[in-house]
Each structure stands twice: as C-alpha cells, then as structure tokens.
C-alpha cells in the first residue's frame, strides 16, 4: 500500500523549530519506518508552503492516510483525507469532539467518567486552577492559576470562548495509549509524562514508556480508556492524558484522537509493529490483549 503520513510540524505548519518540530520528526520517523518494515510505501509533506494543498494532493495519490496535527487543524485535515482516501485515524466527527476540551469534558462528565470540574468565573476563589486553550496540544499555553485575584486580566468562559478553566488535580501526569478497531479496543501501554513548571506555565518535556502504576490502577485506567474511546467513536491510535490524583482516582484531562509522542517509545518496546496494529484496526482484526507485550523501557527527553 501507499500510505500518507501527514505530520503538521514537519510538513510546514506550526513548529518548524523547537520541541514541536522534534516531536513531529520523531513521530513521523517512527510511523514511516514501521509502515515500511511491513512492506508499505510512505509519502509525507515536508516543509511545504501550503500544507493543506500538499495533504490534498498526496492523499489522492495514496491508498490510505493518517494525520498528526494540532487540535485546531486536525478536524479539517482529517476531513480532507477522508474525502480522498481511507482514513487510518479517528473519524473527523470524533476529532471535532475530542479536540474541543470544553465539549469533550462535559460529555465525559455526563457519562460518569472522572474529569476535573469546569470552573466558572463566578466560582473562582482562592483555590488552584488550570487554564488551558479550548483547542490545543502538548501542554501549549497551559497555566496554573493560584486564585482569581492574580489573573484579573483573563476573561473566563462561556461555550464560545477560547479557553477553559478547571480545578487543579494534584497528582501524577500519565497517559494511556490504545488502538481502536471496529469491534475491539486494544490497550498498548501506560506512560509517564514529564511535565515541568516554568513559573505558572506547564511544559511537556517527554516521557517514559511503559510506566508501572500498580495492577489495580492499571486495570482502572485501561477500563476508563476503553469506555472513553468507545463513547466518542474513536478509531486507530488514540492517546488519553490522565492525572492520577492523590485521592487515588484517575482523571481524564485530554483525549488525543491521533498518534501522540508516546508512540515513539511504544514502537521501541512493543512486540508488534505499531503500523501493523493501525492497519489491522481499519482493515482486519486486532490481536488479543494478552498477545501484546512490552520488553524494556524507553525514555524520550525533549528538554
């Protein structure tokens, strides 16, 4: 097959330098090599002036495609791929919901999934809060707010605004990586996320794959992950960000309906090619959970 891997940072979009480009290159290289090792040809945009036009052209010339892009661009680019070829990622309607942190948080809360509470301006007091873009990725422009009084220049939120504020959950930053097929969900790994405080701002600096959280917690995170991707109609590779709270609960803080940086480590430790699993999710049957194993650990450091 001829497969398009459209990675936004490498392809000419936001992030031509710095950590966005490093992450983009790492994910693109990982997927390209994995697809090639199982006999596929891979094409991808590289330093294009018009990324969208390049995706349109290459997707028409490919048997299938997958998009990696920021939340505010992922839906339209996925829709473009869907109109031209087989989409190996989440459907564009799923992407639209997942990318909207306000909408997805409300949906998960209504269906009993533990999530941080959305905080309105009138509710803010002396507590600690998280402010993040309604559409964003990789901890970009995520801030810790120590009470309302220190941030009176920030306007808070109704459904039409660009940011969301939630309660701050004290705990450990982790993620869950899964592959979703037509009739099953295959958990891959639980990963540690390296998050650094820079003043009031949070910075993502890499991670550890896999990360052991204890058998009971692992079962709970896998169970929640399956429920989340099923209710949101995800497909292909999906990354779910959690905070493992000091209260023992696992809170969903973000759903990434696309390959995430953790895929770089997963490809190093998993006994399956990640590309094979992505293709099987779309065209075949995923292996049983007990058949998927990891060996060793991989640390990705972006600092």
> Residue 251: phi, psi to the nearest 5?
-100, 130
For 69, the 3-state DSSP assignment is coil
pLDDT (tens digit per residue) in 130-187: 998 888 765 667 888 887 544 444 444 444 458 899 999 999 999 999 999 999 999 9
Q: Point out the residues of the chain with pLDDT beneath 70.
A: 13-17, 137-140, 148-161
Share above pLDDT 90 across residues of the chain, in percent, rounded to a whole number: 75
Looking at residue 201, what is its pLDDT? 80
pTM of the predicted protein model: 0.92
Residue 205 near residue 301, CB atoms below 8 Å: yes
98-112+170-301 classified as CATH 3.30.470.20: yes
At 138 the pLDDT is 57
Parallel/antiparallel/unpaired status of strands 236-245 and 171-180: antiparallel
Per-residue pLDDT, 153: 43
Domain ranges in the chain are 2-89, 98-112+170-301, 121-167
CATH 3.40.190.150 fits 2-89, yes or no: no
- The pLDDT assigned to 200 comes to 79
| Residue 280 in tokens | 């099987």
Question: Given the DSSP bridges, would you call strands 201-209 and 298-301 parallel, antiparallel or unpaired?
Answer: antiparallel
């Amino acid at each position: 097959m001829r497969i398009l891997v459209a990675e936004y940072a490498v392809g000419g979009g936001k992030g031509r330098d710095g950590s966005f480009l490093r992450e983009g290159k790492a994910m693109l290289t990982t997927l390209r090599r994995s697809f090639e090792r199982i006999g596929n040809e891979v094409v991808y945009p590289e330093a294009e002036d018009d990324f969208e036009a390049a995706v349109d052209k290459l997707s028409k010339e490919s048997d299938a495609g997958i998009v990696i892009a920021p939340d505010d661009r992922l839906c339209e680019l996925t829709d473009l791929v869907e109109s031209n070829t087989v989409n190996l990622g989440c459907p564009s309607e799923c992407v639209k919901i997942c990318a909207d942190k306000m909408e997805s948080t409300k949906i998960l809360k209504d269906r009993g999934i533990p999530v941080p509470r959305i905080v309105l301006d009138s509710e803010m007091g002396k507590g600690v809060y998280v402010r993040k873009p309604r559409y964003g990725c990789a901890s970009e422009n995520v801030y810790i707010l120590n009470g309302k009084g220190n941030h009176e220049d920030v306007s808070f939120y109704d459904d039409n605004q660009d940011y969301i504020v939630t309660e701050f959950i004290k705990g450990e930053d982790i993620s869950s990586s899964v592959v979703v097929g037509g009739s099953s969900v295959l958990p891959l790994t639980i990963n540690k996320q390296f998050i650094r405080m820079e003043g009031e701002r949070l910075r993502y600096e890499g991670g550890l794959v896999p990360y052991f959280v204890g058998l009971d917690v692992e079962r709970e995170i896998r169970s929640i992950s399956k429920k989340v991707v099923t209710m949101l109609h995800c497909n292909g590779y999906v990354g779910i960000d959690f905070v493992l709270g000091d209260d023992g609960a696992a809170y969903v803080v973000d759903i990434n309906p696309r390959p995430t940086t953790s895929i770089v480590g997963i490809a190093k430790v998993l006994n399956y090619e990640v590309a094979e699993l992505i293709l099987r999710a779309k065209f075949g049957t995923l292996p049983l959970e007990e058949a998927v194993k990891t060996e060793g650990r991989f640390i990705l450091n972006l600092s």
